Amino acid sequence: MESQVVNLTEAAALQIKDMMKHNEEEGSFLRVSVKGGGCSGLSYGMGFDQDINEEDVLLEQFGIQILVDKESSAILSGTKIDYKQSLMGGGFTIENPNAIASCGCGSSFRTATQVGNPEECD
Could you tell me which residues are beta bridge partners of residue 45? Answer: 33
pLDDT in tens, 20-38: 999 999 999 999 999 877 6
CATH for 6-111 is: 2.60.300.12
| Angle made by CA atoms 68, 60, 7, in degrees to the nearest 5 | 70
**More confident of the two residues 31 and 86:** 31
Question: What is the model's pLDDT at position 5?
Answer: 92
Closest alpha carbon to 98 in 5, 12, 35: 5
Domain ranges for the chain, please list them. 6-111
pLDDT in tens, 93-118: 899 898 877 665 555 555 555 555 55
pLDDT in tens, 61-75: 999 999 999 999 989
pLDDT, mean over the chain: 84
